[in-house]
Amino acid sequence: MTATVTFTGNAPANADSSVVEWVEDIAQLTQPDRIVWCDGSDEERQRMLDEAVEAGTLIKLNPEKRPNSYLARSNPSDVARVESRTFICSEHEDDAGPTNNWAAPAEMRETLNGLFEGAMRGRTMYVVPFSMGPVGSPLARLGVQVTDSPYVVLSTGTMTRMGAGALAQIGPDTEWVPAVHSIGAPLLPGEEDVVWPCNETKYIVHYPESREIWSYGSAYGGNAILAKKAFALRIASKIGEREGWLAAHMLLLKATNPEGRSFHVAAGFPSACGKTNFAMLQPSIPGWTVETIGDDIAWLAPGPDGSLRAINPEAGFFGVAPGTGHSTNPTAIATLERDTVFTNVALTDDGDVWWEGLTDEAPSHLIDWLGRDWTPDSESPAAHPNSRFTVSAHLCPSIADTWDDPAGVPIDAIIFGGRRATNVPLVAQARDWEHGVYMGATLASERTAAAEGVLGELRRDPFAMLPFSGTHMADHWQHWLNVGERLNDTGNAPLVFQVNWFRRGEDGRFLWPGFSENSRALAWITERIEGRTDAVESPFGLVPVDGAIDYVAAGVSSEDWEALFAIDPEALNAEADDTDVFLARMGTKVPDAVKRQHEEFRSRL
Ligand code: PGA
Ligand code: MN
């Protein structure tokens, strides 16, 4: 530390010296022109929005169509998470495991020091304190991100409890997660008009032991809003492992049956598999309601009463726009009516937004996400397949009034799911917690546009955490088994289920209508919790008895209903073989319980 503080003279008076000194260190390294400490106020947000419009980073939408809403267009090379550039730099490679990119921390620090040196020259460095979870909740955790991207500040302002309230929580003994973000080396002369600067070189780096995050070269959501995937999942999975709680890539919802009994459900599906749609479900069954608590991340901790309590650590939704429409997710459409930042969707001629699936018919003319003229005859989609909306959770009409309860909500059921054209039934209940951990551990899904890679390819995505675990995946499974044992001891372990909305018939058609009809599977799950309905054994677990789910009311034929639960021994044996290969790849840390469950699965075939 230099004796005279050159950069942080404008730090708020109550900022803890640990934060001030860290900010000073990062400023010395990255050499920004100035530092702005964000207070999270409405005035600050409006000022930054106006500045971004002035700079061309944001386009203000027509206030009559979409009040106080904006469109951002990214650099075409910066549209999704880059898993190949995401690193878990634990001291020992074995603590990152075979599913993560690992690099030795000392080497990585040297590489990053080189890249970050002078990286913020000519720009403002924003200091962005935030709380994951309600400020002051025993389940909440704190962080501070520095960034040179106003878009990232605005996004963090929506996605977290950002600003002075969070900073005030940090005292001399408070643990907080430092997160350093830069869009990369300063612009070359002549590049000043680039509206979404980023760098060819990208690094998203986590040091799980020291709980630090460093991200370079990208301004895209999951790479740059470090509170979200980097902190609330990767670093938090490590913190949770030490402290006895679970960081999960799960939505949270509250379902209430016609008798008025409520159930809380956490559901883990991979990215772009419908977590937001499920969290905002409008049940097709009369008398049922579903309320939203979160759409992406849940922190689950055994509570004082022995139940599993859950909070949504986030404060907003960063959802996939395409496929979100009046018929698929009317609640999301209502949420997005105002105060929303859209990224990489299309612009209509009257200054509103459009994306594939918003309406049945596309407008006759649009400006596409690349800023080009677009008509329905154009070859490429008008919105990028991973285009997004960023909006505050409290604007969601279905938000539960308990969504920000500092004590969290008690979880009754945990659901795993993915996109599976074959093999996996519509719904099945795990025999017990251990079987549920096996369901989560062996989860697979077809690849979506949320990350780089080949679309449609089947990949294992254990616990829907493949891109988001800060630990060895097998350690993550053991941790789930350990937490389950504590819950079992008190008789409070939630029931575990697996669902699949995406099974297809031989003709390639979806067998299940999905969306609001998914309430039928959800209702069955709650009936299992209440012990109101029987189930029958299948290789996957316990499945509904005849008549337990009214598929006719969902418009499904009895042939399709049977196909939704059909067992193809040959295909399942091939899948079990694939699981052998997968478990072998996970190495010697695979818990015996998971191996035992796999043998049992085989023996049931
Ligand atoms: P998701 O998260 O891919 O799980 O939707 C968004 C992101 O952070 O990129
Ligand atoms: Mn997600």
Contact 235, 206 (CB under 8 A): yes
Residue 221 Cα to ligand 1 middle (Å): 7
Number of other CB atoms surrounding residue 146 within 10 Å:
22
Dihedral of CA atoms 449, 454, 455, 459 in degrees, nearest 10, equals -100
Q: Which residues are bridge partners to 538 per DSSP?
A: 541
Angstrom distance (rounded) from CA 203 to CA 567: 44
φ, ψ of residue 299 in degrees (nearest 5): -110, 125
Are 198 and 218 in contact, with CB atoms under 8 Å apart?
Answer: yes
Q: Which amino acid is at 249?
A: H
Q: Which atom of ligand 1 is nearest to the CA of 225?
A: 8
Q: Residues lining ligand 1, judged by CB closer than 6 Å?
A: 81, 221-222, 228-229, 271, 296, 318, 450
Residue type, 547: G
pLDDT of 186? 78
The rounded distance, in Å, linking the Cα atoms of 597 and 155 is 42
Token pair 């919790």 is found at 529
Query: Rounded to whole angstroms, what are the CA distances from 98 to 19, 88, 93, 94, 583?
Result: 34, 11, 9, 8, 11
Q: Write down the pLDDT at residue 1.
A: 42
Q: Which of 195, 124, 126, 153 is nearest to 49 (CA)?
A: 153
Q: What's the rounded Cα separation, in Å, for the pair 335 and 390? A: 10
Catalytic residue among 89, 198, 273, 396: 273
Q: Which ligand 1 atom lies nearest to the CA of residue 222?
A: 8
pLDDT at 2: 43
Residue 272 labelled as part of a binding site: yes
Q: Is 273 a catalytic residue?
A: yes
The Cα 550–Cα 531 span in angstroms is: 18
Minimal-distance CA residue to ligand 1 atom 8:
222
Model confidence, pTM: 0.96
What SS3 string covers 120-182? CCCCEEEEEEEEECCCCCCCCEEEEEEECCHHHHHHHHHHCEECHHHHHCCCCCCCEEEEEEE
CA distances from 267 to 132, 248, 406, 464, 556 (A): 19, 9, 20, 10, 24
Structure tokens given for 258 = 């016609």
Residues in the chain: 605
- Backbone Cα Rg of the chain: 24
CA of 317 to the centre of ligand 1 (A): 10
pLDDT in tens, 326-346: 999 999 999 999 999 999 999
How far from chain centre, in Å, is Cα 298? 9
Q: What is the pLDDT of residues 524-568, one digit of tens each?
A: 999 999 999 999 999 999 999 999 999 999 999 999 999 999 999
The bound ligand whose nearest atom lies closest to the alpha carbon of 298 is 2
Quote the ligand 2 centre to 249 CA distance (angstroms): 6
Are 336 and 321 a contacting pair, CB within 8 Å?
no
DSSP string across 420-471: -SSS--SEEE-SSHHHHHHHHHT-EEE--TTBSS-TT-EEE-GGG-TTT-SS
Of the bound ligands, which one is closest to the alpha carbon of residue 231? 1
What is the Å distance from ligand 2's center to 99 Cα?
A: 17
Mutate to test the pocket of ligand 1, among 155, 273, 296 (most ligand atoms within 8 A of CB): 296
**Ligand 1 test: best mutation among 202, 271, 273, 387, most atoms within 8 Å of CB?**
271
Report which DSSP code applies to 504: B
Structural domains of the chain in order of their starting residue, each with its CATH number: 17-57+82-244 (3.40.449.10), 247-313+402-604 (3.90.228.20), 317-395 (2.170.8.10)
**What 3-state class would DSSP assign to 495?**
strand
Two tokens, residue 265:
């459900």
38 labelled binding-site residue:
no
Regions of the chain short of the pLDDT cut 70: 1-6, 456
518 is in an annotated binding site: yes
- 231 known ligand binder: no
Q: Which letter does DSSP use for residue 211 in this model?
A: T
User: Three-state DSSP class for 299?
Assistant: strand
If you measure from the C-alpha of residue 270 to the centroid of ligand 2, how many angstroms do you get, rounded to a whole number?
Answer: 6
Checking DSSP bridges between strand 86-88 and strand 203-207, what pairing results, if any?
Answer: parallel
What are 294-327's pLDDT values in tens digits? 999 999 999 988 999 999 999 999 999 999 999 9
User: According to the model, what pLDDT value does residue 179 have?
Assistant: 99
Atom of ligand 1 nearest to the CA of 220: 9
